[in-house]
Amino acid sequence: MDGLSVEGCKQCSDLVASRSRIVDGVGPDDADLLFVGEAPGEREDQQGEPFVGRSGTVLDDALRDAGLSRADVRITNCVRCRPPENRDPTAEERSNCRPYLDREIDLVDPAVIVTLGKVPGEHLLGRELAVTGEAGSIEEIEIDGTRRRVLVCVHPAATLYDRSQRETFERTIQQAADLTGDGGQAELGDF
Ligand code: URA
C-alpha cells in the first residue's frame, strides 16, 4: 500500500481472478465522515470507484438531502476487489484486506465511521449485529490504539425495495451529517 492506494495485491486468489481492478476508497484524505461498505459490485469494478451503481445513487441522494455531497466524504469498502457473482466476501478475504482499511482509517482520521450494512458493521464492531434494529447507534472501538466512533447504518441496497429501510437509512445519514456539521462537535463531545 502506498498511502491510500493499494497496488498489485494478490492475497485472495478468488478475488484476483474475479476483479478487473482494485477499487480504492475515494474522497478527501481528511474527511470527517468515512463510509465503509462491503465490497465492490460490477459497476464499481468497471469504474474503479466505490458505490457508483444503484446503491451509490441511494447514498448520493441521502447525502444531498442531508446537505452533503459525495465530494465532502470518504467512501471505501472492507474488501477492495469484486467477489465472484457478487457473493459476500469471506472472513479470510476481509481479514486479508483489513490492514488496508485500518491504514485508511489511520490516515484519514475521520470523526465518525459509518458502516453501510451488516458485513462492515460486524467486521468493525467485531460482534453480531442486528443492523436494522441497531441503525443509528454509535459504538466506540479501538483500532491500533486509537478510539474510533462507529455509527451503524443499513446498506443502501436494502432500501431499494423497502420503504421503511429507506427512512432508516436517510435518518442515519442525517445523523452522520449532524454529528460532524456545525455544532456537531458538541454532540460528539457529549458522546
Ligand atoms: N455495495 C458495497 O458494499 N460497496 C460498493 O462499493 C458498492 C455496493
Comparison of pLDDT for 182 and 141, the residue scoring more: 141
* Separation of CA 41 and ligand 1 centre (Å): 6
Q: Is the CB of 168 under 6 A from ligand 1?
A: no
Q: Is the CB of 89 under 6 A from ligand 1?
A: no
164: containing domain = 30-181
Amino acid 21: pLDDT = 98
Q: How confident is the model at residue 62 (pLDDT cuts 50, 70, 90)?
A: very high
* Mutation choice for ligand 1 from 21, 24, 26, 44, CB with most ligand atoms inside 8 A: 44
Residue 186 lies in a domain: no
Across 37-42, average pLDDT: 98
Query: Residue 164: which CATH number?
Result: 3.40.470.10
Residue 144 lies in a domain: yes
Of the candidate ranges 28-42, 50-64, 176-190, the one whose mean pLDDT is the lowest: 176-190
Residue type, 84: P
Q: Is the pTM of this model over 0.85?
A: yes
Residue 188 lies in a domain: no
Residue 113 lies in a domain: yes
Q: Over 50: is that where the pLDDT of 186 sits?
A: no
For 142-169, write each residue's pLDDT tens digit.
Answer: 999 999 999 999 999 999 989 899 999 9
Residue % of the chain over a pLDDT of 90: 91
Q: What average pLDDT is seen over the chain?
A: 94
Please, what sign has the CA dihedral across residues 141, 87, 72, 175? Answer: negative
* Separation of CA 144 and ligand 1 centre (Å): 25
Give the atom of ligand 1 at the shortest distance from the alpha carbon of 156: 1
Q: Of 68, 75, 83, 103, which Cα lies nearest the Cα of 12? A: 83
Q: How confident is the model at residue 182 (pLDDT cuts 50, 70, 90)?
A: low
Q: Over 70: is that where the pLDDT of 99 sits?
A: yes
Amino acid 71: pLDDT = 96
Q: Over 50: is that where the pLDDT of 183 sits?
A: no
Q: Of 150, 179, 174, 154, which Cα lies nearest the Cα of 164? A: 154
Q: Is the CB of 77 under 6 A from ligand 1?
A: yes
Q: What angle do CA 173, 119, 99 make, to 5 degrees?
A: 100
Q: Over 60: is that where the pLDDT of 185 sits?
A: no
Amino acid 3: pLDDT = 83
Give the atom of ligand 1 at the shortest distance from the alpha carbon of 44: 6
Domain count, the chain: 1
Residue 61 lies in a domain: yes
Give the atom of ligand 1 at the shortest distance from the alpha carbon of 155: 3
Across 129-135, average pLDDT: 97
Q: Over 90: is that where the pLDDT of 181 sits?
A: no
86 DSSP assignment: G
* Separation of CA 128 and ligand 1 centre (Å): 20
Largest CA distance in the chain: 47
And the C-alpha cell for 91?
472472513
Residue 9 lies in a domain: no
Residue 137 lies in a domain: yes
According to DSSP, the residues that pair with 34 across neighbouring strands are 74, 113
Q: Over 90: is that where the pLDDT of 187 sits?
A: no
